[in-house]
Amino acid sequence: MAQDHLSDALKKLKLASADSATDSVESCLDCLLKALAHNNADASEKVQEMGVLPLLPTLLAPQSSCTPKVANIIAEVAKNEFMRSPCVEAGLIPPLVQLLHSKDQEVLLQTGRALGNICYDSQSSKEQFASTNIAEELVRLFRKQAEHEKKEMIFEVLAPLAENDVIKLQLVEAGLVECLLDVVTHTVDGERDEDVAQLKTASDLMVLLLLGDESMQKLFEAGKGSVFERVLSWVPSHNHQLQLAGALAIANFARNDGNCIHMVESGIVQKLLELLDRHVEEGNVTVQHAALSALRNLAIPVVNKAKMLSAGVSDTVLKFLPSEMPPVQFKLLGTLRMLIDTQADAADQLGTNAKLVERLVEWCEAKDHAGVMGESNRLLSALIRHSKSKDVVKTVIQGAGVKHLVVMATSEHMIMQNEALVALGLIAGLDLVEAEKDFVGAGLVQVLHKLLSDERTAPEIKYNSMILICAVMGSEPLHKEVQGLAFIDVVSKLRSHENKTVSHQASLTEQRLTAQS
């Protein structure tokens, strides 16, 4: 259809809406819908150019016969990202929200589409929605609906809106959670496709509400909340979708120490371990990932670590070592790293587990998965740092892990560099004879020279590098390498370093190098 034909229709629409001549408005709207069906983006641009959007609020009057068509037009136009802010600016949101009271099914359907499309992926429109009573309206409407299609339509508007933290809280206060829990109860044993779909949508939305700090804390209610209790009961469910939502919900509740401590006391760890055990063989990867995420978060507070270790968390987690799924590998590593932090016995036990160390060394080479690679390096270092055990060091040397820690010392993340240097220092202190060959092969001395010469290296990295230089001087080949690289020049420069710890260590290191030259 020709563009000028559309322009005429839009001009007519402007005139007709001014003197509210319904018949001519209807035919202009039909023409516009046709144009949108033919080429949505072009027609939408034209609507924007000719300033048609600001006319639409008056045409959205509840009793007007063209309301469903106008709402349909808004829904079509708002499929384009560039039209979403203009729809908000034209004041379309309040009249659309009011239309949610309508008894007319066609009006409700088109209004739902329009609201859903306007707030899809758009920050500004979500902020606008936060200042209307849309949360209450939608929850009220949801309660009245019996039909699957209508519920789905409301869900489609709720999901993008619930990404906004202010609206999350409004939805919680309006009682959406009770509605969602009802949907779950009614659909969990359903066989029909629509039951399955509704169960997924409701449980996903529940997890989304828990992503907001305030809404999450409100629903936690110090661990006594009925919502918290109900969601926990999803974990042992026979339904994968509910198991997943339950585990994700726990991971979200576990975002602060107080909640984590309370949940571990309430015996949630056992439920998660049983869930993981059910998924070792019939592995549902998303459930594995969610349950491991929950355990990782719960292991953050120091008081929880020993409790979780004695509940057998590390044994269950190790059952997933053979997994070939990077997201599962990543969470498995993070969980073990959290668990052994400050726990010497556990670090000793895991660090002498040759199978684990062998797998970590494999993952240290996972170039395609930076996350897995970083986490396995960090766990390797943590096993040594927290156990300070000669047996662990031996296991890491035999498993060919030393070279990875040397590479880790050159990481762009300072925290990882530091963890690597401290672990290497312990290796040198506990078993230099065995590690000597690997240190030479991995170019440790060259790496340390580079770290000490580079002005950009952080003070604590310089400090730990000098400690390490002193630690390797007891080895003949490494001592030779240190002499060959003129370390004394680099170190004596650091004696005037602004950081007192660094300058003091530089003096000590210089004395050591001079004494042994």
Mean pLDDT computed over 119-138: 80
Q: How far apart are CA 378 and CA 347, in angstroms?
A: 13
pLDDT value at residue 22 = 65
The Cα–Cα gap between 464 and 56 comes to: 68
Helix residue ranges, H only, 175-239:
176-187, 193-209, 213-220, 226-232
Greater model confidence, 99 or 353 = 353
Tell whether the model's pLDDT for residue 8 goes beyond 80: no
* Mean pLDDT, range 378-393, rounded to an integer: 98
Q: pLDDT: is 104 or 2 the higher one?
A: 104
* Residue 503, CA distances (Å) to 330, 489, 511 in order: 39, 14, 13
Q: Look at 145-154, 239-248, 335-344, 393-402 and tell me which has the smallest mean pLDDT.
A: 145-154
Q: How far apart are CA 194 and CA 196, in angstroms?
A: 5
Helix (H) or strand (E) run with residue 312 in it: none
- First-to-final CA distance of the chain: 89
User: How many percent of the chain have pLDDT more than 70?
Assistant: 97
Task: Tell me the whole-structure pTM to 2 decimals.
Answer: 0.84
Digit-coded pLDDT (tens) for 423-463: 999 999 999 999 999 999 999 999 999 999 998 999 999 99
Q: Which two tokens stand for residue 31?
A: 């023409």
Q: What is the mean pLDDT of residues 486-514?
A: 93
Residue 447, pLDDT score = 97
| 64-112 confidence digits (pLDDT tens) | 788 889 999 999 999 998 898 889 889 898 899 888 888 888 888 899 8
Mean pLDDT, the chain, whole residue set: 90
Residue 336, pLDDT > 90, answer yes
Tell which residue, 135, 92, 139, has the closest CA to residue 117: 92
Percent of the chain with pLDDT over 90: 61
Residue 131 CB coordination number (10 Å): 10
Residues 54, 60, 66, 67: is their CA dihedral positive or negative?
Answer: positive
Residue 20: phi and psi, rounded to 5, are: 40, 50
Domains of the chain: 1-162 (1.25.10.10)
In 341-461, which ranges are E strands? none
Residue 16: pLDDT band with limits 50, 70, 90? low
